[in-house]
Amino acid sequence: MKKNSIKFFLGLVLGFCFFNVQAQQDAQYTQYMYNTLSVNPAYAGSRDVFSFVGLYRTQWVGLDGAPDTFTASMHSPLSEKVGIGLNVTNDRIFITSETYIDIDFSYTIKTGEEGQLAFGLKGGGHFLDIDTQRAIRGPYNVNDAGSQVNIDNKFSPQFGLGLYYYTDKFYLGLSAPNILETEHFDENSPDLGSFATAKERINLYLIAGRVFELSEDIDFKPAVLFKGVAGAPLQADLSANFLFNDRFTAGLAYRWSAALSAQLGFQISDELMLGFAYDRETTELQRYNDGSFEVFLRYELFKRNDKMISPRFF
């Protein structure tokens, strides 16, 4: 089989997997430790500043129809106990486009001298767009009328929950960004007799991270993320980063049975941080793409608590 033919076939698989009644995974991120609000609403306000994060990820570069994700979030404390946030994510894969718009609320209580426990709620909407005409107009030339299913920005409500415990050196979070399962049917072409659907499933996230001071100028920062959804394998992301002089971060990450990643970050100032990540597949899929790239920018201002360590890892 020629390489281009393999790309076309894989693109079709990526797209039409949404047409079956099956588990649907949320977008994935290599730099998840800097993008916590997208998966856990209890994180809102926890940095004691107004914090904005923009992240762009292009996955499996060179493979037609591969995922392309952009997310932007902002959050801030309203008081010592209350935080709010806003998160917008767009995830494109082959002939599908999903947009999430969520508002986050958190309430925090002190659990000791250093620890705090936050409870979070997330509410918003999900817009799903599936257009098989993109395949027909493109190089795939899919002409089977029975597979010509279209969903035009179908709206469904979102509601999520989260817990987030943290100190200045440690965090642990458990969350379900959406606990409402919605099934999207092909309502535009009932005469075609299509049984195609895309169904959302509950994704559960467990995150944890710790900062170890190795010396006055070097910190070691391991972090883990576990994501589970019914009908799909458990996803485990493990990362180990080193922070030098509170400015430069470098490390490696491993997505279990999927990819190996390199991460770089630079704290340009107390307010501004820039980060990059590159993933290389460890599966057979690496033969058909040039890896995945991710870049994020974080900007913060209006520090509320003078005792907050700045810049902070998480």
Higher pLDDT, residue 62 or 19: 62
Name the residue ranges covered by the structural domains of the chain.
26-179+264-302
Is the backbone peptide bond immediately before 139 cis, with ω within 30 degrees of 0? no
- Lowest average pLDDT, out of 23-27, 34-38, 75-79, goes to 23-27
State the pLDDT at residue 115. 93
| Residue 40 binned pLDDT confidence (cut-offs 50, 70, 90) | very high
| pLDDT for 2 beyond 90 | no
State the pLDDT at residue 198. 55
State the pLDDT at residue 169. 92
Q: Where are the alpha helices (DSSP H) in the chain?
A: 3-16, 133-137
**What CATH class has 26-179+264-302?**
mainly beta
State the pLDDT at residue 138. 53
Q: For the segment 164-213, what is each residue's pLDDT rounded down to a tens digit?
A: 999 989 999 999 998 987 665 545 444 444 444 556 678 999 999 999 99
**Are the C-beta atoms of 49 and 23 separated by less than 8 Å?**
no
What CA–CA distance (Å, rounded) separates 102 from 232?
Answer: 25
At which residue do the structure tokens 């920062």 appear?
Answer: 221
pTM for the full predicted model: 0.83
CA atoms within 13 A on the CB side of 194: 24
